Amino acid sequence: MHWDESKLLINYQQVLQALDAANQAANRQSPAGLLAVSKTKPATMIRALYEAGQQDFGENYLQEALGKIDALNDLPITWHYIGSIQRNKTRDIAKYFDWVHTIEREVIAKRLNEQRAGLPPLNALIQVNIDDEDSKSGCLPDELPSLIRAMMNYENLRLRGLMVIPNKAGSDAFVRTKALFDEMAERFKLPQWDSLSMGMSGDMAEAVANGSTMVRVGTAIFGAREYA
Ligand SMILES: *Cc1c(COP(=O)(O)O)cnc(C)c1O
């Protein structure tokens, strides 16, 4: 795949500036960080972005991600799994990733916990289906407390917060997700409950204004995707 390095680096600087402006506008004490979503993009692009200072990368498709993780294993990249998780994928996610954003069921969390044994704890976020839609993945808000209670006992997972993909532009999904995040913080008092993964290329500033700690940005950095 042909790509233009100077374009990539310009995009990256623009996204960093926009994120910085959003953090300042929101008066954030600890600024929201940037997860570069590199799905469908080649390892060479990830390497160039890493060299420009980007540490955290997000991938959705396991087989594709494993190839890139292997090709880049000389770099101390922090890898985030942000795709949907089927049972037969948990072993590789537990083995090769540093974060997982898309836990939605106890059975998946349990497998990840077992398969992570012997490694440092896997940073874990629960994906919430904040708009309660059949077509969306994620744990329903009502089911969240019981999933948290189960995950609190998993010593190989470090439960750090929530992730959301709102389905309607202009809804108050970010506001409601932040409220849920705060409610769970108050209720469970988990020591490491510090992460709210929300916002993408199109709504990064709005997400930061509403309490996101990590925005997941693909297109605005890497350009349009040719598939998926
Ligand atoms: C692809 C993807 C992103 C990035 O979306 P862009 O609109 O390209 O920034 C963020 N989060 C998830 C879960 C994704 O699948």
The residue whose C-alpha atom lies closest to atom 4 belonging to ligand 1 is 218
Q: Retrieve residue 217's tokens.
A: 């940005």
Distance spanning both ends of the chain, measured CA to CA: 16
Ligand 1 site, residue 130, Cβ cutoff 6 A = no
Q: Which residues contact 99 (CB under 8 A, 6 or more apart)?
A: 78, 79, 80, 81, 122, 123, 124, 125
Cα–Cα dist 157/211, whole Å: 23
The pick from 56, 82, 97 for probing ligand 1's pocket by mutation, whose C-beta has the most ligand atoms within 8 angstroms, reads 82
Ligand 1 site, residue 60, Cβ cutoff 6 A = yes
Residue 228 has pLDDT above 60, yes or no: no
Ligand 1 site, residue 207, Cβ cutoff 6 A = no
Residue 171 has pLDDT above 80, yes or no: no
Residue with tokens 């037969």: 88
Tell me the per-residue pLDDT of 134-161, one tens digit each, with 9 for 90 and over.
Answer: 667 899 999 999 999 999 999 999 999 9
Mean pLDDT, all residues of the chain = 95
Residue with tokens 């799994």: 81
Ligand 1 site, residue 116, Cβ cutoff 6 A = no
Which stretches within the chain are classed as H helix? Answer: 5-25, 43-51, 62-71, 90-96, 106-115, 144-151, 173-188, 204-209, 219-222
Model confidence at 223, pLDDT cuts 50, 70, 90, reads very high
Cβ proximity of 85 and 102 under 8 Å: yes
Cα–Cα dist 56/78, whole Å: 5
Residue 219 Cα: closest atom of ligand 1: 8
Ligand 1 site, residue 164, Cβ cutoff 6 A = no
Cα–Cα dist 45/188, whole Å: 40
> How much is the pLDDT for 137?
87
Range with lowest mean pLDDT among 40-44, 122-126, 134-138, 176-180: 134-138
Ligand 1 site, residue 128, Cβ cutoff 6 A = no
Cβ proximity of 105 and 126 under 8 Å: no
How long a stretch of residues is the chain?
228
Cα–Cα dist 105/102, whole Å: 9
Residue 59 has pLDDT above 90, yes or no: yes
118 CA distance to ligand 1 centroid (A)? 31
187 CA distance to ligand 1 centroid (A)? 30
Cα–Cα dist 165/101, whole Å: 11
